[in-house]
Amino acid sequence: MSAALGMVDVLEVANRYGADCDGRQINHSILQADDLPTAPFFDAIVLPPNLTGNRGASDDKLHSWIKEQHAGGAIACSACAGAFWLGHAGLLDGRPVTTHWALEEEFSAAFQHANLLSEHILIDDNDIVTAGGVMAWVDLGLHLVNRWLGPAIVSQVCRHMLIDPHGREQRNYRSFRPKFDHADQPIIDLQRWMESNVQADLSVAELARKLSLSERTLHRRFARATGLAIGTYVQELRVEKARGLLERTTMPISEICWAVGYEDPSAFSRLFKSVSGVTASDYRRRFTVL
């Protein structure tokens, strides 16, 4: 409900400034799933986040209503897990879409024909607009204000509500959460060892030697168990460890580079930015907990 009511606040503030500008307004209402109007067709519908774990697979009546509204010209929008309802309504096949990064695996399994791009906070595909995490309704609300009332009103709303509208991506926030729920115990043991020895030699050759496996066998078993190639896994693991050190310590970035297993600070900086979307220094400035 914080998303639904918060978006109402954004639209109401926008309407105040719109009235002072050229009189344009955005009419809006919060609808209940068990009391959906058959008419009229709306300009947009928004499926909000939810914290219940429900994904709406059995909400057939709501799916039909979403599909009818979209067919009648409504922009179908979602924030966070709201994208599951758009998917169950059959609207996302072949479409670029985002949802919360932690739902990536679940969403991809449910909607294999959607083009999930979970690194993005918001994706506007004209008649389908999706936003990422629980609080990404803010980005979605501003996007809709811009669509109907223009950038000048967006700027006024942001100043009024102390919102920073630009420069965010989901990859700035996401965490690396490796899979440990597979049945390959030697690989699990290796993963646990890597967690505690991130600064060690994590080359394929060394890891294969540690398990007394050929490099080819290790490649195959590791990818099958974790879903990631070893090189990608090591990069993600080391960047995640670096994030923690940036958040919780005052260590110089060059020392953090060495602490997570890299010898070349410039190479580490390029890798960190490619994975996180921001430089290590910007990440520390934004996310430090000290």
The per-residue pLDDT for range 140-184, each reduced to its tens digit, is 999 999 889 988 898 899 989 998 766 677 777 778 888 888 989
CA dihedral in degrees (38, 40, 44, 48; nearest 10)? -40
Work out the mean pLDDT of the chain and round it to a whole number: 91
Q: Which of 249, 278, 285, 275 is nearest to 175 (CA)?
A: 275
Give me the pLDDT at residue 168, please. Answer: 72
Count of Cβ atoms closer than 10 Å to residue 139 Cβ: 21
Contact 200, 183 (CB under 8 A): no
Distance of alpha carbon 3 from alpha carbon 30, whole angstroms: 11
pLDDT band, very low/low/confident/very high, at 54 (cuts 50, 70, 90): very high
pTM, two decimals, is 0.73
Q: Where are the domains of the chain?
A: 2-172, 185-287
The domain 2-172 is placed in CATH, from the list 3.40.190.10, 3.40.50.880, 2.60.40.10, 3.90.76.10, at: 3.40.50.880
89-146 pLDDT, tens digit per residue, is 999 999 999 999 999 999 999 999 999 998 888 999 988 999 998 899 999 999 999 8
| CATH 2.20.28.160 applies to domain 185-287 | no
- The predicted pLDDT at position 165 comes to 67
DSSP class of residue 74 equals P
Calculate mean pLDDT across residues 223-241: 95
Distance CA 216, CA 204 (A): 9
Structure tokens given for 170: 């989901």
With 90 as the cut, is the pLDDT of residue 194 above it? yes
Quick: pLDDT tens for 207-230: 999 999 999 999 999 999 999 999
- Paired strand residues for 122: 131
